[in-house]
Amino acid sequence: MKLVVFNEGRPGLLTDRGIVDITGLARPLGAAGGQDAVRSLIEHLDELRPDLNRLAMEGRPLALSEVTLQAPVPRAKILAMGGNYREFGAREPAPMWGFLKSTDAILGSGGTVVLPEIDANIFHHEAELVVVFGRAGQNIPEAEAMDYVFGYTCGVDVSARMPPSGQAAGGPRGTTMPVSTPKSHPTFAPLGPCIATKDEIPDPHDLGVRLWVSQELRPNYHTSDLAHSIPESIAWATAIESVSPGDVLYMGTNHQGLGALQDGDNVEMEISGIGRLAFLVSDPLKRRWPRGIDEVTAQDVRNGTGGPGSKARPL
């Protein structure tokens, strides 16, 4: 089952036939739209499943071209893992660390990422599997972590790489999860196009993740390269932060495929079994970086010789 939020915040199902409006099921729960509807549907999925399955087969579908998708979790708390991939096996798992992204950064599929007028070295895309929580919890044991997972979505952690003096908190090996300012600008957390319930994803550690910038393939990796599994990451993150239904955990990225985001880019991201997230990029300053994969960052992260984007500057 794939849940979406569309138009003015109406909940729906993404089916092979199109989008089916399920507002009528959410309204009796006291939540007709937006984040309240998402949370209610998550909390009551089991009892609603027969009706949802019926609507998926019989409800009047709307073509994707007829609707505007919003983020499937419009007002979520965003937790994010850092340095959580082995870079195609080049690095051994490091101690876990992470950060928070501002809720105001959330953007739906079809939206526009706006690059802020700040002195950034470069703006990177980070394509990531995102876990959506189905239950409230804190200090969740690793052995029980998957019981708290409702489903998965696609997410891009848009990242402003700042000169060292301007880099905000969010670095490795802290004991808190600070808000990362360079990753929290409005529109810097594209999410979507849907939440695929976990029964749709037999093994989330066996998914292909790809991202294209103006039809050029950049990241192309597999979640089997995770340094720390989803249960490990949930246990670590919730030892610091509580979560509620509809909150999300970005699982981190493989940096061997990062590149610049710049004005006019058309970005598409896809995870097998979930779907394709798309957005545009606008930069009021019209800055330019070399196109293609940022090989300097890829090598620095692979070798542990520098932070992402530390040597990049606009052309």
Sequence-distant (6+) residues with CB within 8 A of 115 are: 123, 160, 261, 262, 263, 281, 282, 283, 284, 285, 287
Do 245 and 291 reside in the same domain of the chain? yes
With a pLDDT cut of 90, the percent of the chain lying above it is 85
pLDDT score recorded for residue 306: 66
With respect to residue 312, please indicate whether it lies within any of the assigned structural domains. Answer: no
| SS3 readout for 251-306 | CCCCCCCCEECCCCCEEEEEECCCEEEEEEEECCCCCCCCCCECHHHHHHHHHCCC
Alpha carbons 111 and 117: distance in angstroms, whole number = 19
pLDDT score recorded for residue 285: 98
Q: Which amino acid is at 289?
A: W
Low-confidence winner among 96-105, 122-131, 163-172, 207-216 (lowest mean pLDDT): 163-172
Domain boundary among 70, 88, 121: 70
Confidence of residue 312 (pLDDT cuts 50, 70, 90): confident
pLDDT score recorded for residue 26: 83
Mean pLDDT over all residues of the chain?
93
pLDDT score recorded for residue 295: 93
Nearest to 314 by CA among 260, 272, 277: 260
Q: Which two tokens stand for residue 196?
A: 């695929």
pLDDT score recorded for residue 33: 73
With respect to residue 240, please indicate whether it lies within any of the assigned structural domains. Answer: yes
Nearest to 12 by CA among 108, 102, 145, 121: 108
pLDDT score recorded for residue 313: 63
Confidence of residue 32 (pLDDT cuts 50, 70, 90): low
Burial 243-275 (b: 16+ CB within 10 A, else e): bebbbbbbbbbbbbbbbbbbeebebbbbbebbb
Domain boundary among 33, 53, 70: 70
With respect to residue 313, please indicate whether it lies within any of the assigned structural domains. Answer: no
Nearest to 19 by CA among 52, 56, 50, 53: 56
102-153 pLDDT, tens digit each: 999 999 999 999 999 999 999 999 999 999 999 999 999 999 999 999 999 9
* DSSP β-bridge partners for residue 278: 268
Do 232 and 280 reside in the same domain of the chain? yes
The radius of gyration of the chain's CA atoms, rounded to the nearest angstrom, is 19
Overall average pLDDT of the 6-17 stretch = 94
Do 14 and 91 reside in the same domain of the chain? no
User: Which CATH number does the domain housing residue 122 bear?
Assistant: 3.90.850.10
Domain boundary among 16, 51, 70: 70
Domain coverage including residue 289: 78-303
Do 11 and 61 reside in the same domain of the chain? yes
Overall average pLDDT of the 5-32 stretch = 89
pLDDT score recorded for residue 35: 82
pLDDT score recorded for residue 169: 45
With respect to residue 314, please indicate whether it lies within any of the assigned structural domains. Answer: no
Do 273 and 293 reside in the same domain of the chain? yes
Alpha helices by DSSP H, listed for the chain, are 23-26, 34-43, 45-58, 230-238, 295-303
Do 140 and 16 reside in the same domain of the chain? no
Do 126 and 36 reside in the same domain of the chain? no
With respect to residue 165, please indicate whether it lies within any of the assigned structural domains. Answer: yes
With respect to residue 311, please indicate whether it lies within any of the assigned structural domains. Answer: no
With respect to residue 309, please indicate whether it lies within any of the assigned structural domains. Answer: no
With respect to residue 25, please indicate whether it lies within any of the assigned structural domains. Answer: yes
Confidence of residue 27 (pLDDT cuts 50, 70, 90): confident
Do 201 and 291 reside in the same domain of the chain? yes
Number of domain units in the chain: 2
Check if the beta carbon of residue 289 is closer than 8 Å to that of residue 315: yes
Check if the beta carbon of residue 161 is closer than 8 Å to that of residue 125: no
Overall average pLDDT of the 25-44 stretch = 83
Overall average pLDDT of the 156-163 stretch = 95
Phi-psi region of 36 (alpha: psi -120 to 50; beta: other; left: phi over 0): alpha
Do 181 and 236 reside in the same domain of the chain? yes
Do 98 and 243 reside in the same domain of the chain? yes
Confidence of residue 36 (pLDDT cuts 50, 70, 90): confident
Confidence of residue 175 (pLDDT cuts 50, 70, 90): low
46-69 pLDDT, tens digit each: 999 999 999 999 999 999 999 999
Sequence-distant (6+) residues with CB within 8 A of 203 are: none
What 3-state DSSP class applies to 195? strand
Cis peptide before 193 (omega within 30 of 0): yes
- Judged against a pLDDT cut of 70, whether residue 95 lies above it is answered with yes
Do 118 and 263 reside in the same domain of the chain? yes
Cα 129 vs. chain centroid, distance in angstroms?
6
Cα dihedral 286, 309, 271, 188, rounded to 10, equals -50
212-258 pLDDT, tens digit each: 999 999 999 999 999 999 999 999 999 999 999 999 999 999 999 99
Do 117 and 185 reside in the same domain of the chain? yes
With a pLDDT cut of 70, the percent of the chain lying above it is 93
Nearest to 260 by CA among 82, 133, 122: 122
